[in-house]
Amino acid sequence: MGFCFSIGSIDKNIIYILIGGFFKFFMHMFFEDILASELTDHPIILSLSISIGLSLSIIPLIIYKIKNKEMICGKNNKEKENEKELVYHDLYDEIVYGKYKWILFSCIIDYSQLFVINTFCASCSTHMWIFDILFISLFSHIIFDFKLYKHHNISIAVIIIIGVFLDIYLSNYIFNNKGYVLSMIIKFISEIFLCLGFVIDKYIMEIKFCSPFEICFYHGFFGVIVSLILLSFSVPINLDNFIEFFEYPTFKKFYALIICMFVQLVYNLFILVVIKNTTTCHVLIIFVIAQFSPYIQAFTGDNKIQNYFILIISFLIIFLSSLIFNEIIEVNCFGLQLNTKKNISIRARTERLSEDSESENDNNNEDIKNINNDQ
């Protein structure tokens, strides 16, 4: 059994994944109640506070720009001295052209799913995030030609099956209420757009040379503008009575807004950094760690020990599957380890060495023949 699992591809980026996941986990555990009590009935105020929080990423963005200014200036000086560098600069400009159209597309997707979740799905307790790994994989395949192998497919199936089982056990699938069914459908569609947004963000950072701080800032800036526009006519259509919210200001409301801004800023920055430095699919590990808290809060009742046992076993399986999917852990049986990036790379290197060795042997044999012919 000790040889069944082994460590796969792991580097320092695992730190960002763990910090992002556990940060959200603790925020859920200790601050979810106050956020729900103060902001759930005010979806636009909630969206506005989240957007303001994301906009604060302009601070690390400025620091990032300052630190890279000297490097960019040095590169520009070299480009003036070297004609080849100018060609590279033209190519760089051509690649970056259209970056802001992609950023606008990403902002629309991000705010739309945020607004829809806050407005129509606040009371929906069904956990649709378990399907994210399927849609992230699908969009990654379409945009980045991400290939799915046996260990990927099995991990996806296990995560979805266990996740659906937990929701059935918690009675989170309610089909006798049309309003609730509609909110489940909306939440499911929203998760699809969330996954698309993550893959688009990866494309912008990888192909259009955009930093995570820049994307986070534009998401927030766009959200602030749209939220303020929506607030201007939200009261007449009974979308968000923000006048009532600000009419009786309390410390609890102010505290909820500050916590919401801070949590979303840190959480989103960690997600974007992980997407940039690894793959979009690594975000699933953050989700698994972060979502453990809502399940803990939901698993209460008479059979608490039994419920927690089921929860812990189920989440260990989901967490292990997410690690296997992202090849942080390899399963060395049933051929599941054959098509990991690590083993594919090893095979390619072995084949290349073998080809070089055969080529060298052929050259040596040819030299021996030539010597014999000369004699």
Give me the DSSP letters along 250-315.
-HHHHHHHHHHHHHHHHHHHHHHHHHHHS-GGGHHHHHHHHHHHHHHHH--STTHHHHHHHHHHHH
Contact 87, 79 (CB under 8 A): no
Does residue 354 sit within a domain?
no
Query: What 3-state class would DSSP assign to 330?
Result: strand
pLDDT-based confidence at residue 46 (cuts at 50, 70, 90): confident
Lowest mean pLDDT among 58-72, 171-185, 219-233, 273-287: 58-72
Residue 358 resides in a domain: no
Q: How many domains does the chain have?
A: 1
Q: Residue 352 domain-assigned? A: no
Mean pLDDT of 80-88: 46
pLDDT of residue 182: 92
Mean pLDDT highest for which of 153-157, 327-331, 352-356?
Answer: 153-157
Contacts of 317 (CB under 8 A, 6+ apart): 158, 162
Q: What is the DSSP letter of 40?
A: T
pLDDT more than 90, % of the chain: 38
Residue 343 clears pLDDT 80, i.e. is over it: no
Q: What is the mean pLDDT of the chain?
A: 82
Answer positive or negative: Cα dihedral of 298, 302, 305, 309. negative
* Higher-scoring residue by pLDDT: 50, 239: 50
**Listed residue (133, 124, 43) closest to 294, CA to CA:** 124
Cα 142 to its chain centre, rounded Å, is 17
Whether 349 is covered by a domain: the verdict is no
Q: Which of 78-87, 207-216, 257-266 shows the lowest mean pLDDT across its residues?
A: 78-87
Mean pLDDT for 327-340 is: 80
Evaluate whether residue 37 is within a structural domain: yes
Residue 95 pLDDT: 62
Q: Which of 48-62, 68-82, 163-177, 238-252 has the lowest mean pLDDT?
A: 68-82
Asked whether residue 246 carries a pLDDT value surpassing 90, the answer given is: no
Is position 359 within any domain?
no
Distance in angstroms (rounded) separating the CA atoms of residues 330 and 333: 9
Q: How confident is the model at residue 110 (pLDDT cuts 50, 70, 90)?
A: very high
Sort strands 329-331 and 5-7 into parallel, antiparallel or unpaired: antiparallel
- Percentage above 70 pLDDT, the chain: 84
Q: How many CB atoms lie within 10 A of CB 98?
A: 10
In a domain, 356, yes or no: no
Torsion of CA 205, 211, 215, 218, to 10 degrees: -140
pLDDT at 47 over 70: yes
Q: Which domain holds residue 214?
A: 5-344
Q: Token digits for 38?
A: 């103060």
181, 121 in Cβ contact below 8 A? no
The more confident residue out of 147 and 76 is 147
Check pLDDT > 90 for residue 351: no
The Cα angle at residue 133 between residues 128 and 138, in degrees rounded to 5: 115
Would you state the pLDDT for residue 356? 57
pLDDT at 70: 54
Whole-angstrom distance, CA of residue 117 vs CA of residue 115: 6
Query: What does the alpha-carbon distance between residue 341 and residue 338 come to, in Å, rounded to a whole number?
Result: 9
CA atoms of 303 and 286, how far apart (whole Å): 29
Q: What is the band of 266 on the pLDDT scale with cuts at 50, 70, 90?
A: very high
Query: CA 55, CA 224: separation in Å to the nearest integer?
Result: 8
Whether residue 20 is contained in a domain is answered as: yes
